[in-house]
């Protein structure tokens, strides 16, 4: 299960579809509707949120918005819109760098044009469900945003 911490705008078509599917699986896990993946490390940050389902739904909403922006048709009924403010989850700068470099390696083969476009990115943006903190090791904290 890969729930990217980097902004979905960096993902190629395959990556965007994959994160959508993975996040939907994560939602099912958090809803108790599947037996697998219950203890997956990338789920821990969502489990620690005050309302894990709100957190994963907000995550999915941003994936949906990116897909819509690109003209893709993802099923909006697969997640619940969260209209109020939601907690953000911390992600370390080191984790973002790690994920971005991991994506670049994938893009070398899958989408060389996008790789060339992204390879000189200096400031990596995180997924809107997260906020960046200093550090190299992955660790999560939750904050309430307005």
pLDDT score of 138 more than 80: no
pLDDT for position 84: 76
pLDDT for position 144: 44
Q: Which residue has the higher pLDDT, 87 or 10?
A: 10
Residue 82: pLDDT band (50, 70, 90) is: confident
Mean pLDDT along residues 90-111? 94
pLDDT for position 40: 74
- Domain range annotation of the chain: 8-144
13-56 pLDDT, tens digit per residue, is 999 999 999 999 999 999 999 876 776 778 888 998 999 999 99
pLDDT for position 1: 55
pLDDT score of 70 more than 90: yes
Q: Look up the pTM and report it.
A: 0.89
pLDDT for position 127: 97
The 3-state secondary structure of the chain, one letter per residue: CCCCCECHHHCCHHHHHHHHHHHHHHHHHHCCCCCCCCCCHHHHHHHCCCCHHHHHHHHHHHHHHHHHHCCCCCCHHHCCCCCCCCEEEEEEHHHHHHHHHHHHHHHHHHCHHHHHHHCCCCCCCECCCEEEECCCCCCCCEEECC
């Amino acid at each position: 299960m890969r729930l990217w911490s980097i902004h979905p705008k960096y993902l190629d078509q395959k990556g965007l579809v994959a994160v959508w599917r993975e996040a939907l699986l994560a939602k099912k896990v958090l809803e108790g509707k599947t037996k697998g993946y219950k203890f997956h490390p990338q789920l821990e940050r969502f489990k620690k949120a005050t309302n894990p389902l709100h957190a994963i739904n907000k995550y999915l909403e941003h994936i949906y918005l990116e897909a819509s922006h690109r003209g893709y048709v993802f099923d909006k009924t697969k997640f619940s819109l969260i209209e109020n403010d939601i907690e953000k989850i911390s992600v370390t700068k080191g984790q973002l760098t790690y994920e971005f470099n991991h994506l670049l390696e994938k893009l070398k083969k899958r989408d060389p044009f996008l790789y060339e476009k992204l390879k000189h990115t200096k400031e990596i943006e995180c997924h809107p469900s997260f906020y960046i903190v200093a550090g190299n090791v992955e660790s999560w904290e939750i904050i309430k945003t307005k």
